[in-house]
Structure 1
Amino acid sequence: MNKLAYKVLNDLDVDIEVTGNPFNLPIESIFQMAARINKKRSFLFVSKVLGKHIPVNPNTSLIAGAVLSILYQKHLKGHLPYSIEQVITAIVDPANANHVFHMIKSNTLPLCEPTIFIGFAETATALGHSMFDIFSGPAKYIHTTREMINEVNPTLDFVEEHSHATSHRCYPLYEQFFQGEESIVLVDDEITTGKTAINIIRDLHHKHPRARYVVASLLDWRSDEDKQRFEDVKHELGITIDCLSLLQGKITVSGGPVESLVSNKGISTPNANAEVLHYSLDKYFMHIPFSSTNTYGETKTESYLKHTGRFGIDALDIPNLDESITRSANELKSYRRGKRTLCLGTGEFMYIPMRIASEMGQGVAYQSSTRSPIHPYAGKDYAIRNVFPFDYPEDPSINYFFYNIPHGTYDEVFVMMERESRPEKLFSYSEALKKTGIPIIHYVHFNN
């Protein structure tokens, strides 16, 4: 067992006892710590591989999902066409990530039983999709969403225990999506208590019962009491639940939440000379003419993409999506005007932007905006150095953030948004982007 102590901020301390690390991943390559602005939970394991709060090589994030695929394939005793050591090198050294991802993508894992993968919004939408993407065979994928879709009723509706935004819904395009007896694999970046996973298992089993569930995560910090809760649910429902993770352990927290902090919040004068450009990639993708309603009761009529995972996707759809991604990346690559490029996904819309970023050439970093509020602090080993808040264009009542963009780091940023927003709705986002000092802002939307 490996014991680690983290002094997060002020008197907030987190001690970790690592009890499982099946691939012997260096812990420092997986996460850093930060203080969360959330009274339910005062700290956050900030992933260094998700492509959310910390900019990454986009291939590294895609490989993180593939490592979960390998873990699941080993659990099933299925065939592996390459060694796990080859894949782990790309997590430890991003310089290998492009080569390793192409190797993985060219050698998919044959899935030996029908499976539905479900990614949790918002942080695991891309993680779940990249796990699903590595398999060939009878696989489907869907991610939960916090969007309120008007034209279809949610098949699943459940709550998240520790989140600042708690409602999750699933909107499969086809009513029969969950009606089989396939194994369900729930994918999240982190399990703390497991209550959210239990909530969706209960809802799923009540509506579409089946025998087998798997929870796959990068991190698993459940206590003995939490693990017993899983055992109780297994016996109550007469099912199996297997939990797989890249890192497992127990955490002890001391000190209170950080209420306020005087720090580098990334606030500066917006660059009035920043060049703002707009592009559409709608011609490369299939769309669904669904609308949404925000918390003000306003309706947004711009269409959604069909194959993001929000409405379900089948393994047979992967080749068409791959082609759409490559064509989009080639177009955006032609618009690049610098050697240091950031691609920025938006909220739940992570996987397609991540894949596009991975094919846009050298010198491209990827991260995503998020609802997750975190205290910034420019201290050694602290995960969040600065923050740029803005109003979400589709719902100004929701605060969004992007993090960790030191002034002068990038020559340009490609902001990828699934649905187009009117210029006035983008004002807050644009002002935040201009504060980064990035001289060229490319807005890219995908709907028609």
Structure 2
Amino acid sequence: MQQTPVITRHPLTTGVLELRTIAAPTDGELFRIAERINPKRSFLFVSTVLGRHIPVRPRDHFDAVNGIVDQIPDGFLGGPLLVMGYAETAVGIGAAAARRLRERRPEADLLYLSTTRHPVAGREWVSFSEGHSHATAHHVMAPTSCELLSGPARTLVLVDDETTTGNTFAALFKAVHDGGVDVKRVLLLTLTDWSKGRAAEAIAELCPGIPVDAFSLVRGEWRWEQDAKATLPAVPIWAGDAARPAWVPNPNPVPNPLFHAPRLGLQMEPIVEPTIDLIRPLIPAGLPAVAAGDSVLVIGTGEHVWGPMLLAERLEQEGADVTFVATTRSPILNGEVIRHKVVFPDHYRVGVPMYLHNVPERPSARVIIMTETGDDGICPTLRAYLGRGHIINGAGQVTEFET
């Protein structure tokens, strides 16, 4: 990890972002700067290992998340562990962090629970707002195993891809604490931390006496110089068909880890050495086998990223050349970081535009796209852009498509 500060300036159309990086790995690039189509905040830290805006090899994704978790001293992981990730961007890395924590604490009472933009009727617990986001409302559902939220004081582990002010961490902590969870320690995990300690301070101010510690792969601070003459962009809206009813999440998730939504909680059972043979019975019949050396692109959809990433990891372990990426609600300008972009109606039919970034039209790799909705969650626009591939829907059914 480098310790000498590195100052970089990133000119954007609405201003200049200056970064002062005080710690970062020296063996690879972890993020790039892109421009958001959002008047609240013009810049975006685009992770090269997250798998949301840039395709990533599963092993690189898990190595990065494990690198954060492995910084935590054993003494900080006492008692039950409640791990939480943020929709939609950090649903997957939150689950990956919980898995690594399970590997370190196989005997622990551990629950992973993500926030969601798709509430489940009858399961609402707490909610909060994320001020700078394109989609501000976060909902937290009461997990399937509600008893895991009560009882002895627990360590609360909050996971996000990056933090700049700490406000989002503080908002979730307050919601969970006010919701009745007895917290004895807070751990903040991020790929990049630009808060200069403010993230931990924001939580400590809400509940003095609870120790708060932050861990990340990159640390530093940022300064934004707004161009007073620049016209701020409006958040895109979708003018498509709003007559179709919105998708409704299943309140009784299936036990298959490829389809169980983290919004209702995952206990992350102790892991046996993962191989494709162990979960092949859980993979839907009808998905053709992938041979060693095959080029495969696995695409997650919105908040449905953990199951697709697990599938990508298993296929990689079998020798396939696999990359993973997920669709997103985050609007980003095309440029050096975002080389390809397709926009289409959202998978959940809530009336917002969705995007797939950095995947060329009709990619040469074999495409496997997973959705927690029905097949209609993969709209004709996206199918036509991808050209051909297989869809695995929320019921575990496999459909081949070609346009």
TM-score over 0.5 for the pair: yes
Report what 1:29 is aligned to: 29
Query: Structure 1 residues 405, 147: closer, same or farther in 2, change over 3 A?
Result: same
Shift of 1:169: 1.8
**Corresponding residue of 1:209:** 182
Match of 2:380 among 427, 430, 434: 430
User: Are residues 1:348 and 2:306 paired?
Assistant: no
In 2, the alpha carbon distance for the partners of 1:337 and 1:408 equals: 22
Runs of 4 or more, structure 1, over 6 Å off, are 294-297, 335-338
The yes-or-no answer on 1:444 pairing with 2:392 is: yes
Q: How big is each residue's C-alpha offset from its partner over 1:273-312, in whole Å with a ceiling of 9 and x where there is no partner?
A: xxxxxxxxxxxxxxxxxxxxx9986463766445332211
| 1:184 and 2:156 matched | yes
Counterparts of 1:236-315 in structure 2, within 5 Å, are 238-256=209-227, 259=232, 298=246, 300=248, 304-306=253-255, 307-315=260-268
Instruction: Provide the identity percentage.
Output: 26
Out of 341, 351, 355, the residue aligned to residue 387 of structure 1 is: 341
In structure 1, what is the equivalent of residue 239 of structure 2? Answer: none
Contact 1:342/1:414 (<8 A) preserved? yes
Partner of residue 364, structure 1 = 322
> 2:74 aligned with 1:76, yes or no?
yes
Contact 1:413 1:442 in 2 (8 A): yes
| Residue type of the alignment partner of 1:354 | M
**1-structure distance, mates of 2:99, 2:197:** 33
Which of 329, 334, 337 is the equivalent residue of 1:376?
A: 334
Paired amino acid for 2:165 = T
Deviation at 1:259, TM superposition (A): 4.4
Compare 368-377 and 59-68 and name the one that shifted more. 59-68
1:153 aligns with 2:123: yes
1:17 match: 20
Query: What residue is the counterpart of 1:328 in the other structure?
Result: 283
Partners in 1 of 2:173 and 2:181 — Cα distance?
10
Deviation, structure 1 residue 113: 3.6
Contact 1:417 1:446 in 2 (8 A): yes
Give the conservation status (yes or no) of the 8 Å contact 2:290–2:320: no
**Residue 401 (structure 1) aligns with:** 355
CA distance in 1 between counterparts of 2:198 and 2:160 reads 20
Q: 1:66 to 1:255 in 2, by over 3 A?
A: same
SS at match of 2:38: coil
CA contact (8 A) 2:84 2:158 kept: yes
Aligned to 2:87: 121
1:419 pairs with one of 373, 380, 388: 373
Task: For 2:126 and 2:211, locate their aligned partners in 1 and report how far apart those are by CA, in whole Å.
Answer: 20
Task: Say whether residues 1:232 and 2:202 are aligned partners.
Answer: no
Partner Cα separation in structure 2 for residue 210 and residue 295 of structure 1: 44
**Counterparts of 2:249 and 2:78 in 1: how far apart (Å)?**
41
Q: Equivalents in 2 of 1:232, 1:46: separation in Å?
A: 30
Deviation at residue 205 of structure 1 after TM alignment: 1.5
How far is the alpha carbon of 1:349 from its aligned partner?
0.9
Query: Which residue of 1 is the match for residue 166 of structure 2?
Result: 194
Structure 2 unaligned segments of length 5 or more: list them: 235-241, 397-403
Residues 226 and 340 of structure 1, relative CA distance in 2, 3 Å threshold: closer
Offset at 1:209? 2.8
2:401 aligned residue: none
Residue 366 of structure 2 aligns with an amino acid whose one-letter code is E
Aligned partners of 1:419, 1:407: CA distance in 2, in Å?
23
* TM-score normalised to structure 2 length: 0.81
1-structure distance, mates of 2:71, 2:286: 35
Check whether the contact 1:8–1:35 (CA below 8 A) recurs between aligned residues: no
Q: In 1, are the aligned partners of 2:173 and 2:203 still within 8 Å (CA)? A: no
Counterpart code for 2:202 = R
RMSD: 3.1
